[in-house]
Amino acid sequence: MKKYLLIFVLACFSTSIFAQQQNYELVVNVNKVGAKVQPYMYGLFFEDINFGADGGLYAELIKNRSFDFPQSLMGWTTFGDVTVKNENGPFDRNPNYVRLSDAGHGHKHTGLENEGFKGIGLKKDATYRFSVWARTIDSNTTQKIRVEFIDANNNPFERKELEITSSEWEKYEVVLTSPKEEEKASLRIFLKSEGSVDLEHISLFPTDTWKARENGLRRDLVEALDELNPGLFRFPGGCIVEGTDLETRYDWKKSIGQVENRPLNENRWHYTFDNRLFPDYFQTYGMGFYELFLLSEDLGAEPLPVVNAGLACQYQNEGEHCHVPVGELGDYIQDALDLIEFANGDITTEWGKIRAEMGHPEPFNMKFIGIGNEQWGPEYPARLEKFIEAIRSKYPEIKIVGSSGPQAEGKDFEYLWPEMKRLKVDLVDEHYYRSPEWFLNQADRYDSYDRKGPKVFAGEYASHHNNRKNNLESALTEAAFMTGLERNADIVHMATYAPLLAHVDAWQWRPDLIWFDNLRVARTPNYYVQKIYAHNSGTNVLPITWNKNPLTGQEGLYASSVIDTDKKEIIIKLSNASEETKNINISLDGLKRKMRIQPALEYTVLTGEKDLENSLENPKAILPKTSVKTIMGTNIEVDVKPNSFNMFVLKYTD
Ligand code: AHR
């Protein structure tokens, strides 16, 4: 027994000696101020997937408000005498409307009820603007409708009446106040008079939208985006740029102008995965290009719109016949040129004038345009070349983003990169949805990229754990990988996680950066990684080394460092992907004589059990923690936890 005790004590002793010996001396070369980190390096990729726009960011609460879904009453339950009509409606591109007529007898009811997007979320004491385009059928009568909120148990709890006074189409509005919180309410409309009335574009918005705009966006969701401090905003996708066929591609010109007359488009995510079928998912374009440019501006992010390259989604279409022939690209190229004019042209230009009429006479100052999404094969460069010729000749200052296809390596990728170089695009959009291991292994991905060609836009990426959850492990592997983006900021100019948003009751794809329901928002651990990087991107790269080498995964460690010459900060990011605590010593080398490091060190750490997630019920299960420590001199000594992402911010004076 004594013998075993002795062995145990010796083992413990030797482990602790061993632990003490594991000392990692990291050096930051403060005098080697390297590449500029682009102010738009960390951004957002937005697509109407997972109810990201309709049913999500776009604050409209009524589904199928214009009765123009292919099943014209989808989302509506009718009772009494209700018919769908389409002659002489007020909006030619959304022709349908409903006629409500007295059901007779005096006791029978006519009306209809809307189920919203997986219910209508109402907040206690909040106000909601109901609006409708309406007319009476008989010019001598005034008709009355009653509008009410119904809770999940079928009880009405707020009502208002409206008089329809004209036989001409007019817009009517009334504001309702919700006396209680209800996640899955519905909206019911009764005909309260004895005649007939026509109703079109039935709409309900919270008055408390982002910046209190009518036709606005959900405030809590925009706040979550704003909090990320994004430098870039890519829109409107993703695959919806391409469309299942060219007819259903995202057509930006249909997404602007009077909101009631923007024609409905299908949303390919409604049927892309038949195990995640959402037959009620369409694009109203209510949040169209004007609203998306405005959102970029609000967020202080560079807008990066992407247009169709004359190619329908290549996953769903094989062969040249599915696409626009190279010689017939004229309209598509004109769409790209007109888009630049819409964003930047002065108000005397055709498209600049439309922007001004919509409320924004100042240009949006767009600098980038993406041509095509995830394209591949010779079809793509053949078309891209034509766009490039036209854009370069009219707008040489605009930077063009090409694509390296849907894969991060392999045949198509190897073919497209040289093609992108040949065509001299400014940036190449790379996509990678890969395992956590892949992300860890790829931290040195960009170390050997050709510095003379186009820059890199990591346009869609996410660490896909085998359970596809937004757990801490996935976030930590992204954080480790991103040290590689940051170290290579001379070539990597932009990076956007994807997808951005997902409704818990209506998602098609996961993981996603932000989850929400009709009332609540949950920020994932991945969100906090993005937030840490975007708030601490610095102005220039500084080398950080261990044994004179960059840390790209040796012993599970990954590191990058930047200096912010405006805020006067030296920022070090360090991931420990191992299962051991690491004793780290970071020293600053080459400090200029006048540079004084402040003793207060800001230390942020994201760590915990690898499978932890944030949910709507428990949105703060995993959060980064920031503390202030005092350092002596210029050395940081710290025990870095296993499975952790760490950031150190040192302030200096000079
Ligand atoms: O982000 C989801 C989808 O992934 C995008 O629409 C597409 O570009 C990629 O395949």
Task: Return the amino acid letter for 193.
Answer: S
Joined together, the tokens standing for residue 349 give 């230009």
pLDDT digits (tens, 9 = 90+) for 12-57: 333 333 444 468 999 999 999 999 999 999 999 999 999 999 999 9
Q: Which atom of ligand 1 is nearest to the CA of 406?
A: 10
Residue range 411-425: average pLDDT? 98
In which band, very low, low, confident or very high, does the pLDDT at 105 lie, cut at 50, 70 and 90? confident
Task: Return the amino acid letter for 541.
Answer: V
pLDDT score at 2: 46
Residue 374 known to be catalytic:
yes
pLDDT score at 22: 63
The reported pTM is 0.96
Q: Among 45, 49, 281, which residue has the most ligand 1 atoms within 8 Å of its CB, making it the best to mutate?
A: 49
Whether the CB-CB separation of 55 and 63 falls below 8 Å is answered with yes
* Cα dihedral value 539, 623, 220, 223, nearest 10: -10
Rounded to the nearest integer, the mean pLDDT of the chain is: 95
Q: Among 248, 404, 433, 457, which residue has the most ligand 1 atoms within 8 Å of its CB, making it the best to mutate?
A: 433
What residues have CB less than 8 Å from 99, skipping those under 6 apart?
82, 83, 84, 85, 137, 196, 197, 198, 199
Residue range 608-621: average pLDDT? 98
pLDDT digits (tens, 9 = 90+) for 326-382: 999 999 999 999 999 999 999 999 999 999 999 999 999 999 999 999 999 999 999
pLDDT score at 5: 44
Q: Where are the alpha helices (DSSP H) in 22-129?
A: none
C-alpha 315: how far from chain center: 22
Joined together, the tokens standing for residue 42 give 């960390």
The 3-class SS string of 475-493 reads HHHHHHHHHHHHHCCCCEE
Q: Which of 374, 419, 430, 460 is catalytic?
A: 374
C-alpha separations of 410 from 363, 371, 416 in Å: 41, 22, 10
- Ligand 1 atom 5: the closest Cα is on which residue? 238
* Cα dihedral value 148, 149, 150, 155, nearest 10: -70
pLDDT score at 15: 36
pLDDT score at 421: 98
Q: How far is the CA of 238 from the centre of ligand 1 (A)?
A: 5
pLDDT score at 321: 83
* Cα dihedral value 589, 590, 596, 602, nearest 10: -40
147 lines ligand 1 (CB under 6 A): no
| Residue 113 pLDDT greater than 80, yes or no | yes
373 lines ligand 1 (CB under 6 A): yes
| Residue 1 pLDDT greater than 80, yes or no | no
pLDDT digits (tens, 9 = 90+) for 304-325: 999 999 999 999 998 888 899 9
pLDDT digits (tens, 9 = 90+) for 134-160: 999 988 899 999 999 999 999 999 999
pLDDT digits (tens, 9 = 90+) for 521-558: 999 999 999 999 999 999 999 999 999 999 999 999 99
Cα distance between residue 579 and residue 644, in whole Å: 9
pLDDT digits (tens, 9 = 90+) for 497-517: 999 999 999 999 999 999 999
pLDDT digits (tens, 9 = 90+) for 433-455: 999 999 999 999 999 999 999 99
